């Protein structure tokens, strides 16, 4: 078969952006940073980042990872309806299960470690992702752009806010960055063995798909691109892609068989429910253009003009096409969330690095051994202005969303975990929408705990328990109290609290703590605070 891959055919060719990372093709090569130093710097940054995150973003960061792992290791906890229907695989929760096992064996399963250990572990994965963003940027664009790409990733508000959370999407993002780095059509084929590099990329792609079946959207694009450019297509398909894919997905299925107790094809069930039956639409839908008009633009925020200019300067249309491909396909799905497109946010920020490197690089006329020219001073001024603009528009938002917005959900369960460890909590009733707080993975005490159920019904016109409570809090609580074993503590948002004051008083509950939650309305009502009531008896 005819050789198709060449120096100019790989999308890693720099189109004037010097592969050594010089001044955008001019000047001396920019030497690479030590990968070890880059990783250690990113690790230190992400550890601080993870500890600064004190807020809630989405229930899945607790309920689809640490909560499942806690049940596996400690034998108690609650699984959501997805696990009962076999829509989720156990590969991702097993990562946290291994962490919890270490904590249990060493006796470190104290409230502080149960709260922070999963975040600290995720910070290690984030640092790996940051390192591979730097390495990927370096092999495509060069060292100067790689450093600015890393700067963009570390200062982008959404990456700071979301990446260190224990989402499967965060781990998918790490695997995507590492896999793209090893993908031959993104690299200079003269510098690497395409076959060996591609096998590493395929392993990471298969793991990513096993954890998040929708990750196949990413790998379908780059897989077809590699198939078009590679020398031996039959070898790529039958001796590399199929064996590696079958092996990884087979091992993942075997793991699910061991935990579920029966053969479950979780990726198939996941895709059938979310795509073929549009089951995800019951959690809310958005207009087709939401990612372009609101979602992805909010994630990029003030990096948008830098990304657009970076794409124009670099002319890396295949890499930009990957972003457009993912955003377009996810736009077809009715249910949309920010975190679904997290894996392509670093790619957009990589293009921002191209723009920032262009601003910071001197022109050929400015490289003489003379006094700094007027143009050189203007360039430095523009650089300082660009950096200041990005920091001022991203850092405050990152800190506010990480430290303040919706923090009550975390604070209240952290408080109850300490109280339970001191035997001051016997049972808990959460009178709030389902999955509003973390659960046993934070509480870490095998005591009765009751929350609203929002499992989907076959008849979608029938409201679930959580909806019925929100429609009539007093009526629901009064009906519940007829047959309850009275809890020692009740937790509720201030909006529901106002309607249940009389109910709480009549059942001898008194307020013992209150936690700030949010300044702004997120869902139906402004949930400004969370109150904890304890039985007077």
User: Residue 459 pLDDT more than 90?
Assistant: no
- The whole-number pLDDT of residue 195 equals 78
Which CA distances in Å does 484 have to 45, 66, 427, 450, 527? 47, 29, 11, 10, 26
Q: What is the mean pLDDT of residues 422-440?
A: 96
Q: What is the mean pLDDT of residues 23-33?
A: 53
Per-residue pLDDT tens digits for 104-133:
999 999 999 999 999 999 999 999 999 999
Name residue 515's beta-bridge partners: 530
User: Residue 249 pLDDT more than 80?
Assistant: yes
Per-residue pLDDT tens digits for 286-327:
899 999 999 999 999 999 999 999 999 999 999 999 999 999
Residue with structure tokens 């996810």?
A: 330
Best CA proximity match to 476, nearest among 495, 499, 448: 499
In terms of DSSP H, where are the helices of 17-59?
35-52
Higher pLDDT, 452 or 284: 452
What is the spatial distance between Cα 96 and Cα 72, in angstroms, rounded to a whole number?
10
Q: What is the DSSP string of 122-134?
A: HHHHHHHHHHHHH
Which CA distances in Å does 461 have to 86, 286, 353, 458, 469? 24, 20, 49, 9, 16
pLDDT band at residue 189, thresholds of 50, 70 and 90? low
Higher pLDDT, 8 or 501: 501
Q: What is the mean pLDDT of residues 21-40?
A: 66
Best CA proximity match to 121, nearest among 46, 36, 40: 46
* Maximum Cα interatomic distance, the chain, rounded to a whole number of Å: 87
Burial 75-109 (b: 16+ CB within 10 A, else e): eebbebebbebbbbbbbbbbbbbebbeebeeeeeb
What is the spatial distance between Cα 534 and Cα 424, in angstroms, rounded to a whole number?
10
Name residue 531's beta-bridge partners: 492, 514
Q: What is the mean pLDDT of residues 175-200?
A: 83
pLDDT band at residue 363, thresholds of 50, 70 and 90? low
Average pLDDT in the chain: 90
- The whole-number pLDDT of residue 17 equals 52
Which CA distances in Å does 147 have to 170, 177, 293, 316? 22, 16, 29, 18
Best CA proximity match to 362, nearest among 28, 16, 20, 19: 28
Q: State phi, psi for 442 to the nearest 5 degrees.
A: -100, -45
Per-residue pLDDT tens digits for 233-245:
999 999 999 999 9
What is the spatial distance between Cα 529 and Cα 231, in angstroms, rounded to a whole number?
61
Torsion of CA 208, 210, 213, 214, to 10 degrees: 0
Per-residue pLDDT tens digits for 283-296:
778 899 999 999 99
Higher pLDDT, 17 or 270: 270
Question: Given CA atoms 288, 293, 298, 302 in this order, what sign does their dihedral have?
Answer: positive
Per-residue pLDDT tens digits for 43-62:
999 999 999 999 999 999 99
For 62, residues 6+ apart whose C-beta sits below 8 A from its C-beta are 166, 438, 439, 441, 442
Best CA proximity match to 360, nearest among 382, 336, 335: 382
- The whole-number pLDDT of residue 193 equals 66
Torsion of CA 150, 155, 156, 159, to 10 degrees: 80
Question: What are the CB-based long-range contacts (under 8 Å, 24+) for 520-529?
Answer: 520/405, 522/406, 523/433, 524/470, 525/493, 525/495, 526/495, 527/408, 527/493, 527/494, 527/495, 528/494, 529/408, 529/493, 529/494
User: Residue 29 pLDDT more than 60?
Assistant: no
- The whole-number pLDDT of residue 279 equals 75
In contact, 209 and 171? CB cutoff 8 Å:
no
Q: What is the mean pLDDT of residues 493-502?
A: 95
- The whole-number pLDDT of residue 3 equals 42
- The whole-number pLDDT of residue 192 equals 56
pLDDT band at residue 26, thresholds of 50, 70 and 90? very low
Tokens (6 digits) for 402: 């990480």
Per-residue pLDDT tens digits for 210-222:
999 999 999 999 9
- The whole-number pLDDT of residue 394 equals 98
What is the spatial distance between Cα 56 and Cα 375, in angstroms, rounded to a whole number?
47
């Amino acid at each position: 078969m005819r050789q198709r891959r060449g120096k100019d055919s790989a999308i890693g060719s720099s189109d004037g952006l010097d592969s050594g990372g010089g001044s955008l093709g001019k000047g001396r090569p920019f030497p690479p940073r030590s990968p070890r130093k880059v990783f250690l710097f990113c690790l230190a940054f992400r550890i601080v980042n993870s500890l600064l995150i004190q807020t809630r973003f989405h229930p899945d960061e607790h309920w689809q990872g640490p909560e499942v792992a806690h049940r596996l290791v400690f034998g108690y906890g609650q699984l959501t309806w997805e696990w009962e229907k076999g829509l989720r695989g156990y590969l991702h929760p097993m990562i946290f299960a291994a962490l919890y096992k270490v904590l249990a064996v060493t006796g470190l399963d104290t409230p502080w470690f149960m709260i922070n250990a999963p975040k600290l572990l995720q910070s290690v994965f984030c640092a790996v992702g940051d390192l591979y963003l730097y390495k990927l940027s370096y092999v495509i664009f060069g060292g100067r752009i790689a450093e600015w790409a890393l700067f963009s990733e570390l200062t982008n508000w959404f990456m700071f806010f979301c990446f260190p959370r224990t989402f499967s999407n965060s781990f998918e993002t790490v695997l995507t960055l590492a896999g793209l780095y090893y993908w031959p059509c993104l690299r200079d084929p003269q510098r690497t063995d395409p076959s060996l590099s591609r096998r590493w990329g395929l392993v990471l792609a298969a793991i990513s798909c096993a954890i998040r079946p929708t990750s196949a959207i990413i790998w379908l694009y780059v897989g077809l691109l590699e198939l078009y450019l590679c020398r031996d297509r039959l070898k790529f398909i039958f001796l590399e892609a199929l064996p590696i894919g079958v092996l990884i997905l087979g091992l993942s299925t075997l793991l699910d068989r061991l935990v579920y107790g029966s053969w479950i094809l979780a990726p198939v069930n996941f895709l059938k429910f979310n795509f073929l039956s549009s089951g995800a639409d019951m959690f809310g839908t958005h207009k087709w253009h939401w990612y372009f008009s609101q979602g992805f633009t909010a994630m990029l925020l003030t990096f948008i003009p830098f990304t657009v200019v970076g794409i124009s300067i670099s002319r890396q249309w295949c890499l930009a096409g990957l972003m457009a491909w993912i955003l377009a396909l996810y736009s077809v799905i009715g249910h949309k969330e920010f975190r679904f497109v997290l894996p392509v946010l670093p790619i957009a920020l990589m293009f921002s690095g191209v723009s920032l490197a262009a601003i910071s690089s001197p022109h050929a006329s400015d490289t003489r051994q003379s006094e700094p020219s007027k143009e050189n001073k203007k360039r430095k001024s523009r650089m300082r202005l660009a950096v200041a603009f990005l920091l001022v528009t991203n850092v405050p938002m990152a800190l506010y969303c990480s430290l303040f917005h919706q923090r009550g959900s975390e604070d209240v369960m952290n408080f109850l975990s300490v109280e339970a460890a001191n035997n001051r909590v016997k049972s808990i009733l959460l009178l709030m929408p389902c999955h509003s707080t973390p659960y046993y993975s934070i509480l870490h005490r095998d005591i009765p705990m009751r929350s609203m159920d929002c499992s989907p019904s076959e008849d979608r016109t029938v409201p679930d328990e959580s909806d019925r409570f929100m429609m009539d809090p007093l009526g629901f609580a009064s009906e519940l109290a007829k047959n309850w074993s009275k809890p020692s503590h009740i937790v509720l948002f201030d909006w529901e609290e106002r309607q249940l004051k009389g109910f709480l008083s009549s059942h001898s509950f008194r307020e013992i703590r209150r936690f700030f939650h949010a300044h702004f309305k997120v869902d139906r009502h402004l949930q400004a605070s969370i109150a904890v009531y304890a039985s007077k008896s």
